[in-house]
Structure 1
């Protein structure tokens, strides 16, 4: 069976400099892949390249057989790719209600609507009248996830969703990832938090200097944590 997402030889960077230097990566439909690596190895660049925010120098990004490498951001989004960016990027003056309204202005077919998102993330329902700058970090993260889900993507990219969050909120993020994956959505999780990555992902890939140097199941990584830490270069 062909994977939903297939990258081959993906190269990109900034101002002529190479950050991704030939990334090969596959993800099946409904699967969750954790992309691990130290800061600066190219993980966020990969997310930005897949989303069309960074134009690739070469290589291929196929979503269900459709070539997306080099396409515009809006074309990629309509093809079924959603993103929860690093830092949340919630609009400070807009309320939760206004964020959700904007996200559903052009509804995409699929199972995720406003009612279902608020059922999954009930805290947002309690904060509908609050502005983005009145939300806690965890609430902002849940709003960023809700906004992405309302686009009904087939592939969801989450870039460092645990960054700056309390352990209880990190655990909630993991539960949300599990729920959307169980509903058939494919997820690429870029993370530094090994606990979240290993609990949420069926597959783990390690990036070093812009290439994938290791791939295995989450269970294998969890049973050999010393090998994973050695690959990541952490104590």
Structure 2
């Protein structure tokens, strides 16, 4: 569980609600279902219109990374690559075929298979870099649905504010209806800006961070496998791979 994500969300909410109370306002005055419906529904509609469904669905599934980060085993991968390097140096590249079934990651398994099949270092790097570019593009596009929501939400909030003011103008002759219309107008703006800056954009940023780390691990795998293909000393490979560690 990523405790800092929970702490950040709670701190943001407490700061806003606490500020409202310190100014003498009531928290209940921020509870406007109509404004929330306008902002959430409008933002969701805009994001759905922008994104293919498979990209949208993957973006939603990735949201769990904010609370439960994906496992990124850099040190474990380095140890594994060094073990392959030492074995291949003693017994040849073909012996690495015995290790392929135990590799769980598809990218690493494909790279190891290419190495065993005798792909030259430059060709090996070229093929795996294509895989990385495709992976990064697909996953970043999915993370961008949250970035898009962060862009649309404030504008939809303003739209809700305008709708609330229209309602106010239509009922100037009935003072009893003015308060509700004005409340929807201002609270819709708060929802739009608040959701964008407290929820959507931070989620997008954290997802892109994890995607970046996953890309780094794949680049590290390429570097290690190319080093093995070139017959580099395991110590040289280890020094190069440890440079990827944060």
- What is the TM-score normalised by the length of structure 2? 0.21
The higher radius of gyration belongs to 2
**Whose strand proportion is higher, 1 or 2?**
1
Between 1 and 2, higher relative CO (CA 8 Å, sep ≥ 6) is seen in 2
- What is the TM-score normalised by the length of structure 1? 0.22
